[in-house]
C-alpha cells in the first residue's frame, strides 16, 4: 500500500478535547486521494486509557483523522476504513510499529461498531 501525505495536519483544540481541522488534510492511498475537509472534528485515534501506554497518540494522529472522516461519511465500509487506519498508522516518520498497528486495528474491529452505527443512525 502506497501512502502519501499531501498536506500538513493543522488543527485547533476544542473545549471538549477534540480537534477541528483548520485546513483540509489531503492524503493519497494507493493513488486515490482522500480530502478530509477543513471544519471536520476528530478525536484522533480514540485509544482507551488502559491501553494508552501501548502507543503514543502522535504516532497515529493522521490515521485517526482519516478514520474518523471515513466513519463519519461512510465513503467506505467499516472494514475498509479500519484497514486504512492500520495502513496509515504504519506510514510516515513517526509511525506505529507493526504490533501497535495490529492491536489498534483489532481494537477498531472489536469496539468500533458502536461509533460506526451511531454515524449511520445520524445520517438516516
> pLDDT, tens digit, for every residue of 74-95?
999 999 999 999 999 998 777 8
Confidence of residue 100 (pLDDT cuts 50, 70, 90): confident
Q: What per-residue confidence (pLDDT) applies to 104?
A: 86
Lookup: cell for 53: 501506554
CB proximity list for 105: less than 8 A, separation 6 or greater: 82, 83, 85, 86, 89
DSSP per residue, 52-77: GGGS-GGGSHHHHHHHHHHHHH-SS-
Q: What per-residue confidence (pLDDT) applies to 40?
A: 97
CB 69 within 8 A of CB 36: yes
Higher pLDDT, 93 or 124: 93
φ, ψ (nearest 5 deg) of residue 43: -110, 20
Residue 80 to residue 75: CA distance in whole angstroms = 10
Assess whether pLDDT exceeds 80 at residue 55: no
Q: What per-residue confidence (pLDDT) applies to 109?
A: 92
Confidence of residue 52 (pLDDT cuts 50, 70, 90): low
Q: What per-residue confidence (pLDDT) applies to 101?
A: 87
Q: What per-residue confidence (pLDDT) applies to 111?
A: 86
Assess whether pLDDT exceeds 90 at residue 48: no
Amino acid at each position: 500500500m502506497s501512502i502519501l501525505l499531501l498536506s500538513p495536519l493543522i488543527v485547533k483544540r476544542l473545549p471538549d478535547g477534540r480537534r477541528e481541522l483548520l485546513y483540509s488534510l489531503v492524503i493519497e492511498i494507493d493513488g486515490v486521494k482522500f480530502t478530509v475537509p477543513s471544519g471536520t472534528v476528530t478525536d484522533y485515534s480514540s485509544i482507551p486509557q488502559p491501553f494508552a501506554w501501548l502507543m503514543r497518540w502522535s504516532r497515529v494522529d493522521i490515521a485517526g483523522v482519516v478514520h474518523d472522516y471515513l466513519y463519519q461519511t461512510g465513503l467506505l465500509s467499516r472494514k475498509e476504513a479500519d484497514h486504512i487506519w492500520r495502513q496509515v498508522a504504519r506510514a510516515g516518520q513517526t509511525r506505529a510499529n507493526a504490533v501497535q498497528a495490529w492491536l489498534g486495528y483489532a481494537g477498531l474491529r472489536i469496539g468500533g461498531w458502536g461509533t460506526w452505527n451511531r454515524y449511520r443512525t445520524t445520517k438516516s
